Amino acid sequence: MSDGRYFFALWPNEAVRDQLSAVNRRMAANGRPHHADDLHMTLVFLGQVADSQLRRIHDAADVIRGRPFTLHLDRTGYWPRPRILWAGPERTPEPLSQLVFDLKNNLIPCGFEPERRTYKPHVTLHRKAESTDPGKIEPSIEWPVTEFVLAVSGGGAGGSPRYRVLQRWPLGTAGDSLTNDADSISVNRR
């Protein structure tokens, strides 16, 4: 079993990361703000992973084609139970839903139970935050999404980042040759 918990995510570029950090600073929600380098949007959470599963997880991601899209981060929200303050889009873009669907589908043969709860795209800004009223982000943060990543958590000592990006996959460029030996794997071919 590898150390750490694995997850697929979108990782912001520097410009988006800086804008998210600025929103985070303005919110002043006490609690623990995420390190700027940790800001991300989880797509699928895998948790701990056996070494033998890692190769298959990479294979499942290799055959994803997907499409680049723009994410409009236009609102903040607060979930009282985990006490999380987050930023997210009012509407989930269809290519994002499709990407999450394809990843989950492709991970089933790797032994992962798909999450049944509706996917709620969000970037956690603050953990253990005080309640804040949901608000609009104006102007909204325009995030050009051109890739997804596999990341692992487990850092965070002494104020350093908690998460580490392990691998990146571009959206919209996977070659058809990659899909040929993946008969049992669903691929977004649009």
Neighbours of 157 (CB within 10 A): 7
CB of 143 to ligand ATP, least distance (A): 16
- Whether the link from the prior residue into 139 is cis, omega within 30° of 0, is yes
Q: At what angle do helices 51-62 and 94-107 cross, to 10 degrees?
A: 140
Q: Is 122 a catalytic residue?
A: yes
Q: Could you give the CA distance from residue 74 to residue 122 in angstroms, rounded to a whole number?
A: 11
Per-residue binding string, ligand ATP, 70-109, x by CB under 6 A, is ----------------------------------------
Binders of ligand ATP among 27-56, rule CB under 6 A? Answer: 42, 45
Which of 7, 8, 148, 169 forms a contact with ligand ATP (CB under 6 A)? 7
Is the CB of 114 or the CB of 170 nearer to ligand ATP? 114
User: How far does Cα 164 stand from its chain's mean position?
Assistant: 12
153 binds ligand ATP (CB under 6 A): yes
Catalytic-role residue among 34, 35, 40, 126: 40
* Region class of 78: left (phi > 0), else alpha (psi between -120 and 50), else beta: beta
Question: Which residues are known catalytic residues?
Answer: 40, 122
Binding interface with ligand ATP (CB under 6 A): 5, 7, 42, 45, 115, 124, 153, 162
